[in-house]
Amino acid sequence: MTDTSPRHILRVDASMRREGSHSRGLADRVVDRLTAQRPDTRVTVRDLADGSMRLVDETWIGANFTDPAQRSDDQKAALAFSDRLVAELRAADTIVITMPIYNFTIPASLKAWIDLVARARETFRYTEAGPEGLLTGKRAILVYVSGGVAAGSETDFATDYMKHVLKFIGITDVEIIDAGQLMFAEAEKLEAAHARIETLAA
């Protein structure tokens, strides 16, 4: 039987550049490819460059580790933004994440997003057998862009980390659109990334 249910994409943009950003441009093509195959797809965009991202602090930690039934109004308010980010993840079946490489790893904004969505009892839980991700049945597409670091190389500290984090919260179906080392062969690398995008199935 063909699955005709509506799809929901969450797009997370981590590039601090809006103009001339290769990762954003490639993500545009990814989303266009997926929505062309499924016109009923809903797309939610979380732009980490819009100034809304917050860092985990002591107040947030105290609220997060308080039993939900015992949280004060102030603690609920401290977690409200994180709750919205988690809800966006839960609602989506496909997550497209741009990964421009800054100084050999992911941008600070993307790390902040991870810290706000990797939450015990919300996106993972601890069991006698170890941690268990709760966001199963989802797919992630990582758009990897770097000037000089090749994906999968010994100086790539980003892709394995992102795959591990996603697996930790239950997302094991992870694909990578590789546009690494653009400083050395930009046209060739972008052409290869575009060709890879054209193979994506909705």
Answer for the pair 193, 187: CB distance below 8 angstroms, yes or no: no
Residue 37 tokens, joined: 């195959």
CA distance linking residue 136 with residue 89, whole number of Å: 11
**CB burial readout 112-141, b (16+ within 10 A) else e:** bbbebbbbeebbbeeeeeeeebebeebbbb
| Residue 21 labeled ligand binder | yes
Is 22 annotated as contributing to ligand binding? yes
The number of C-alpha atoms within 13 Å of 170 and in the hemisphere containing its C-beta is: 21
Q: Are 23 and 143 in contact (CB under 8 A)?
A: yes
Feature table: binding site for FMN: 15, 21-23
Feature table: binding site: 15, 21-23
